[in-house]
Amino acid sequence: MTRFLTTFVVLSLFAFSPLTSAHAAGPVAPADTADEAVVSVFDDETDDESTDADESAAAPQSDEPSLNVNINGSLRFNALFRSYGGGSSFDQSSDRVLGDGGFTFDTFRIGASGSYGDLVFDAEYAVYPDAFGGLYLHHGWAGYNFSETRQVQVGVSQVPFGIQPYASSSWFFNNTYYVGLEDDYDAGVKAVLSPGNWDIQGAYYMNPEGTTFYGNSTPDRYSYDVIPGQDQSIVEEHQFNAKVAYTFDHDGLGFTKLGVSGQRGQLLDQNTGDTDWHAAYAVHLQGRYGGFETKLEFMQQELNPPNTNDRFTSMGAYGGTYRVANKHTVYSSSLAYHIPLDVGPVSEVKPYYDFSQVTKDVDAWNDNVSHVIGFLTSAGPMFIYTDLIVSKNHPFNFSFRENTEFASVMAEGDDNEWRTAFNVNIGIYF
């Protein structure tokens, strides 16, 4: 309780501090959100112009704000091709279907964002196949704009850590995501400060987004968190995040954004009530130079679950859990080039190359390595990711061979062979 009150006081001082700036940098919209004009639900649709004129002349003008709401969402499918030649019956049966190509449902999302004066909100709910957790909240928060450069969000928000909204360009994401350090969402309070070219964010998260009213924590969620599994009963709580980045403008030639991020929180043993700590930091660079785009990150994370001598901690999302090495280093990069086109509905093609690697402090454990070559095609409301992934120990490019275990994928790495898959993700965004 003391920690919560301290955080509340700090955020209150931040909100009412006299900091101002002539330059406003709004929050970056997620890629899953299409840009649409904000529609007021209180727009008058009457055709009686004379009545409107009389009422306008008789009634005094009101400064009362109106409620503006924007409905958005997406519907996505995958065309997946792969052949692992695995020894398990699972591999054999799935390869008979997907080896020749399979068309699968990815996700349906529906969301709303809007404002009422300086009050703002943003929420999105996701529908995934039952095998990947089914239904859950992607994000949902309410906030207040104290000025053009100061905002506070309360609810489930994107954790301010690393390059945002994504450190990768492909549909598969980089390995940063699978250790909980890319596009992560938790429940708490976040402050956003953007004076001039600065991007300063701080947050306190009481717990991850998947925690229920009764304190239960399941892997049915979008982003990876420490949760019970793999014979552990550990959850994360009371996490603090800070991110500071500065954008260097290059006189119309592009920009370079340099930043550092840090987080530290508690790990709770639900069986005993004992706690220990976890922490991570990152150094990151994001640049855009004409059509060329680059994202580079270096991260280290340490997890210290209480009451165990395990060298791993259980993490989970999408309805499943696996082991993550307690001490690991992540290297992440993404290179892309934007090519504008005017061919029918196609407005842009963006080829990219994503690379990421996770190394562990246990020498005998295998690295996670991913190479993704692909391109994003933009055509009105349609976005198509075309990816070729070549990887070792990737959670979504994994072979269930004999003597291998999916639960080891981000720790021991039992399936230490190169796997190749070709995936086309077709999405309509509205």
Q: Determine the Cα–Cα distance for residues 140 and 118; give it in Å rounded to an integer.
A: 17
Closest CA to 327 of 304, 308, 302: 302
pTM value?
A: 0.84
Q: What residue type is 21 in one-letter code? A: S
* Nearest by Cα to 168 from 387, 417, 399, 393: 387
Give Cβ neighbours of residue 377 (< 8 Å, ≥ 6 apart).
Answer: 346, 348, 349, 383, 384, 386
Domains of the chain: 2-25+73-105+150-429 (2.40.160)
What pLDDT tens digit does each residue of the chain (430 aa) get? 445 444 444 444 344 343 333 333 333 333 433 333 333 322 333 344 444 444 444 555 567 899 999 999 999 999 999 877 666 666 667 777 777 778 899 999 999 999 999 999 999 999 999 989 999 999 999 999 999 999 999 999 999 999 999 999 999 999 999 999 999 999 999 999 999 999 999 999 999 998 877 777 889 999 999 999 989 999 999 999 999 999 999 998 999 999 999 999 999 999 999 999 999 999 999 999 999 999 999 999 999 999 999 999 999 999 999 999 999 999 999 999 999 999 999 999 999 999 999 999 999 999 999 999 999 999 999 999 999 999 999 999 988 876 678 999 999 999 889 999 999 999 999 9
CA distance 193 to 342: 38
